[in-house]
A and B are shown apart, each in its own frame.
Chain A
């Protein structure tokens, strides 16, 4: 029996409210399939499953708020028989945990709609299970005045999000000994290359500098794995791939930093498609659980708002954050000659428990060098 638990949806997300199941008992599921939609303070998240099997029982009802790690459903592995469940489980049908009252999800849902207290309904089904018919029977007894309208579900998302960000950032500053470095990076080659590349393209397939920067960060991480991964249980766990969290500000306030997966393996064109899609979905409040929980590092680009540089706060349990300021023409001296150079300040905030300033400096130098060869990104 496989237990499907509510996955972590990021450091600032410790609970979620089930909005909807996308599967029913008896359905077979594949790795990566969206099985439920869970509301958090930041977005309605499509929760994916990472095991394969057949859905046996849904243990959580729509509308319930549950902490991360709660078993939401059980699944049968291939070849496992529903008639031989592990000890402590009910047999067959919907299955049930020991001591749990048997109420079919449909009955529970219907009871909610009708304003019936499900716990007070007498079950007449097998083993005293509460059925749809029992709920309807009980509803007749409920006076119209007691049939409460649906509770006011208006969630002050902005306030909730502020609280969530506050919790994660307070934890970051409490636990992570940050160090900060910055480096001016000449961008004439990258801006020229981008202008030339976009010149021949229809507007719908043009690239943004943001994807050039993301790819450069991902490639630099290959040589500096200590910037990429998680610090958990007192130890650093390097990540095997660069899943870069992209800080996206939301128009109604707040921000979210979901991941683009495997950035180092993708072409700039693919990254542009991914980024466009991610920004659109982040703003519409529709993200996947893996995007919320997977980022192995975060990149923030506050240059858009016109600041010269940004020194970020690491999003735990990540161990580094790369920031880009605005690309601006500035006086530049090279080999004794003065010129006007488009340049950007790249910064690194990193976790001193995992890396030192020396390695951080080499990382930024690598990033700078990669951005001098945009055609190789």
Chain B
């Protein structure tokens, strides 16, 4: 999967949780949960959405590594290899 395609999937999934998100406003290097105001239920639903769309397994132990949008993209890229 191309990086741009992956990014589109991630942003689309984010928008199902937070419809008000504007892609252009997302900074890839800033903590995602602060930028988008995701509580733990939103966060879980976001990851479930990614799991369902991309068929990747995301153990809870890995949550701590998924801080920024960039982290999420890097993590998924590695998983999808």
- Could you say which interface size class chain B belongs to? 10 to 19
Question: What's the nearest-Cβ distance from chain A to residue B81, in Å?
Answer: 20
Question: What's the nearest-Cβ distance from chain B to residue A293, in Å?
Answer: 23
Residues of B within 8 A of A195 (CB): 60-61
Given A199-B60, A199-B61, A203-B57, answer yes or no on A210-B48 (Cβ-Cβ < 8 Å).
no
Question: What's the nearest-Cβ distance from chain B to residue A333, in Å?
Answer: 27
Residues of B within 8 A of A202 (CB): 57
Across the interface, B44 reaches (CB within 8 A) one of A208, A249, A251, namely A208
Interface residue ranges of A196-253 to B (CB < 8 Å): 198-199, 202-204, 206, 208-210, 249, 251-252
Given A199-B61, A203-B58, A204-B51, answer yes or no on A251-B41 (Cβ-Cβ < 8 Å).
no
User: Are B48 and A209 in contact (CB-based, < 8 A)?
Assistant: no
Q: Is the interface of A mostly helix, strand, loop or mixed?
A: helix
- How far is A77 from B44 in the complex, measured between Cα atoms in Å? 47
Given A251-B19, A251-B20, answer yes or no on A199-B40 (Cβ-Cβ < 8 Å).
no
Across the interface, A203 reaches (CB within 8 A) one of B37, B39, B47, namely B47
Mark interface residues in B51-80 (1 if CB within 8 Å of A CB, else 0): 100000111110000000000000000000
Across the interface, B60 reaches (CB within 8 A) one of A198, A249, A275, namely A198
B11 in the interface (beta carbon within 8 A): no
Across the interface, A251 reaches (CB within 8 A) one of B18, B45, B51, B61, namely B18
User: Are B61 and A210 in contact (CB-based, < 8 A)?
Assistant: no
A279 in the interface (beta carbon within 8 A): yes
Residues of A within 8 A of B59 (CB): 199
A-B contact count (CB 8 A): 38
- A residues contacting the other copy or chain, number (CB 8 A): 18
What residue of chain A has the Cβ atom nearest to residue B52's Cβ? A204
Residues of B within 8 A of A275 (CB): 41
Residues of B within 8 A of A249 (CB): 39
A276 in the interface (beta carbon within 8 A): yes
Question: What's the nearest-Cβ distance from chain A to residue B52, in Å?
Answer: 8
What residue of chain B has the Cβ atom nearest to residue A198's Cβ? B60
Mark interface residues in A300-322 (1 if CB within 8 Å of B CB, else 0): 00001100000000000000000
- How far is A208 from B41 in the complex, measured between Cα atoms in Å? 7
Residue in B41, B45, B51, B58 whose Cβ sees the most chain A Cβ within 10 Å: B41
Mark interface residues in B13-24 (1 if CB within 8 Å of A CB, else 0): 000001110000
Across the interface, A209 reaches (CB within 8 A) one of B40, B45, B61, namely B40
Residues of B within 8 A of A304 (CB): 39-40
Closest 9 CB pairs of A and B: A304-B39, A198-B60, A203-B51, A208-B40, A279-B41, A203-B48, A204-B48, A203-B58, A203-B47
- CB<8 Å pairs between A and B, sample of 13: A198-B60, A199-B59, A199-B61, A203-B44, A203-B51, A203-B60, A204-B51, A208-B44, A210-B41, A252-B20, A275-B41, A276-B41, A279-B41
